[in-house]
Every structure is written in structure tokens, then in C-alpha cells.
């Protein structure tokens, strides 16, 4: 039997963290093993634990998702980061990708889409919600080559 994907949820709103945890209670292969309310807390948790995937909110107090992603990738480069937000802002998407995120999911996606995204990242792929053009992702990568 395969070991479950270890997921850290980072979001400043406890209602969103609680809702996301419910998404994965019955989901095969994904186990929420940590949660943080901001980037500072996430960085402390990353230093002490290994996570396969971090579901990272974009806009948080103290340390935002972009800066937290940069720092997580410096500490544990193997950790996959799936950024999430309600808003689609091309600048933020570019900054997250350049910081090391492997995907971006809109917060209003269904449970099945979240599961697909997390599994895709864990397997080494990238994931972007349908509301985000893959062309944007490719243009960002081409620009910085």
C-alpha cells in the first residue's frame, strides 16, 4: 500500500483551513499532517517536518505566500508548493512560479480538482486551474530562461 501524500495547509483563515481539511478526510492518498496560519508559522513547521505538498495561501499577514514559498524552497527544495487564492492576478502568479510554486489552484475549485492538483504535484507535474492560462505559465518560464 502506498504511503499517503503528506499535506501542510497554510491559510490565515481558520474556516478555510478547516474546510480544506474536510476535503481530504475521505480522499484516498492524501493526509493533512499540519496546518499553519501564516508564512512564519509555515516556515517553522517546514524546518521541523517533511511535507510532500504545501497548499499555500497567497495573501496572508506577516509573511505572504510568495515569500513563504521562496523560503520553503531554500530550506527543503523537494517540497512541492501548490498556491491558492480566490483572485487571479498575473503578477502574483508569475511571482509564485518564480518563487518555486509548481501550481496554482483557485479556492473555489471542487474537492476532486484539489485532489487532482495535489496528486499531480506529488508526481512531479504542474497544475493550474482552468481559470489560469497555461500560456501564462509558459510565457513566464520562457521569459526567465
Rg (the chain; Cα; Å): 14
Look up the CATH number of domain 5-143. Answer: 3.40.50.2300
Question: Three-state SS string across the chain, please?
Answer: CCCCEEEEEECCCHHHHHHHHHHHCCCCCEEEEEEECCHHHHHHHHHHCCCCEEEEECCCCCCCHHHHHHHHHHHCCCCEEEEEECCCCHHHHHHHHHHCCCEEEECCCCHHHHHHHHHHHHCCCCEECCCCCHHHHHHHHHHCC
Q: Is the pTM of this model over 0.85?
A: yes
Q: What would the grid cell of residue 125 be?
A: 507535474
Angle at 28 (CA atoms; ends 23, 30), nearest 5 degrees: 65
What is the reported pLDDT for 144?
A: 63
Tens of pLDDT, residue by residue over 33-80, are 999 999 999 999 999 999 999 999 999 988 999 999 999 999 999 999
**Domain residue ranges in the chain:** 5-143
Q: Identify the burial level of 53 via C-beta atoms within 10 angstroms of its C-beta, where 0-12 means exposed, 13-18 middle and 19 or more buried.
A: buried
Of 34, 87, 37, which Cα lies nearest the Cα of 60? 37
Tens of pLDDT, residue by residue over 69-127, are 999 999 999 999 999 998 777 788 889 989 999 999 999 899 999 999 999 999 999 99
Say which residue, 81 or 142, is predicted with more confidence: 81
pLDDT at 136 over 70: no
Amino acid at each position: 500500500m502506498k504511503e499517503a501524500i503528506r499535506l501542510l495547509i497554510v491559510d490565515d483563515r481558520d474556516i478555510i483551513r478547516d474546510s480544506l481539511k474536510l476535503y481530504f478526510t475521505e480522499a484516498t492518498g492524501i493526509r493533512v499532517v499540519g496546518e499553519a496560519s501564516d508564512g512564519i508559522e509555515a516556515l517553522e513547521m517546514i524546518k521541523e517536518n517533511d511535507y510532500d505538498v504545501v497548499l499555500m495561501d497567497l495573501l496572508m499577514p506577516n509573511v505572504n505566500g510568495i515569500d513563504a514559498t521562496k523560503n520553503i524552497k531554500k530550506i527543503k527544495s523537494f517540497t512541492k508548493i501548490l498556491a491558492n487564492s480566490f483572485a487571479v492576478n498575473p503578477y502574483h502568479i508569475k511571482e509564485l512560479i518564480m518563487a518555486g510554486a509548481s501550481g496554482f489552484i483557485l479556492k473555489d475549485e471542487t474537492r476532486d480538482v484539489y485532489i487532482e492538483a495535489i496528486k499531480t504535484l506529488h508526481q512531479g507535474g504542474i497544475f493550474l486551474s482552468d481559470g489560469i492560462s497555461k500560456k501564462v505559465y509558459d510565457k513566464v518560464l520562457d521569459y526567465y530562461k
